[in-house]
Amino acid sequence: MGKHNEFGKEGEQIAGDFLVKKGYTIHCRNYRYLKAEVDIIAEKDGILAIVEVRARSNDQIIPIADTVTNKKIKLLVMAADTYITENELNLEVRFDIIAILKNKRIFKVDHLENAFYHF
């Protein structure tokens, strides 16, 4: 496995642990539907959070949330709809991003709730 894949998996673990500490229940990790993958599906206070995890090791000029493309958003919405239907859930749904910045001098986790809306 490449270092970027290992770092991505580590980021997903950090994000999951972060959500649990904030009182979320993890429903599923790495949910796949066709070409879509949802990193984490979690619930808290009657809200189902569809979470995209973005991990990086350097401070780039582009905000990490801006790296989620319209195509990725459409895939996340499609996968979320399928997950909700398959599991017969009746919850409010929110799309979040957890951005992780980790290197030798910085460790920062940002949880962006309602990071984008489906269209």
What is residue 37's predicted lDDT score, i.e. its pLDDT?
95
Q: What's the pLDDT at 2?
A: 47
- Write the DSSP string, 12-63: HHHHHHHHHHTTPEEEEEEEEETTEEEEEEEEETTEEEEEEEEEESS--SS-
Task: Give me the pLDDT at residue 102, please.
Answer: 78
Whole-prediction pTM value? Answer: 0.87
Looking up residue 39, the CATH number of its domain turns out to be: 3.40.1350.10
> In whole angstroms, what is the distance from residue 64 CA to residue 94 CA?
18
Residue 54 lies in a domain: yes
CA 79, CA 34: separation in Å to the nearest integer? 8
Give the number of domains in the chain.
1
Residue 65 lies in a domain: yes
Which residue ranges of the chain lie beneath pLDDT 70?
1-8, 59-62, 64-65, 117-119
In a domain, 118, yes or no: no
